């Protein structure tokens, strides 16, 4: 460092300080890039597991939906058959059947809506 020329010494010090700041900023940028790349690789490694989990969940939802439809159909069949020994009027049979069918269809709509959103 030329100590006999104060202006030159000051300018050199300023240039060195700027160079050090630029090097520090570059090191921080490289570290951030490394963290970003590591995070990206970790996410890429997780994607197959996430895909598999979603696929299994959708398959379970579909199976549950089919089972619910089957149970509702069985319920309606059993309901109609159970009216015969009761001896109730046709009007009351139709009213009860309509009420149960409406609620059962509501349950099926819940499954359909869940299927659409997944």
Mean pLDDT on 64-77: 87
Q: What is the pLDDT of residue 116?
A: 67
Print burial letters for 25-58: b (CB count within 10 Å at least 16), e (below 16): eeeeeeeeeeeeeeeeeeeeeeeeeeeeeeeeee
Q: What is the pLDDT of residue 2?
A: 67
Mean pLDDT on 57-86: 86
What are the CA-CA distances from residue 46 to residues 56, 57, 65, 70 (Å)? 16, 17, 29, 36
* pLDDT per position as a tens digit, 8-29: 889 999 999 999 999 999 999 9
- Structural domain boundaries of the chain? 6-117
- Is pTM beyond 0.85? Reply is no
């Amino acid at each position: 460092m030329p100590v006999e020329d104060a202006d030159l010494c000051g300018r050199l010090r300023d240039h060195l300080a700027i160079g050090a700041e630029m090097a520090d900023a570059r090191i921080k940028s490289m570290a951030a890039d490394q963290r970003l790349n590591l995070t990206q690789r970790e996410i890429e490694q997780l994607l197959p597991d996430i895909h598999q989990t979603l696929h299994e969940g959708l398959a379970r939802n579909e199976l549950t939906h089919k089972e619910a439809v089957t149970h509702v159909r069985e319920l309606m069949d059993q309901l109609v058959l159970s009216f015969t020994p009761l001896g109730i009027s046709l009007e009351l049979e139709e009213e009860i059947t309509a009420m149960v069918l409406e609620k059962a269809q509501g349950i099926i709509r819940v499954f359909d809506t869940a299927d659409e959103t997944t």
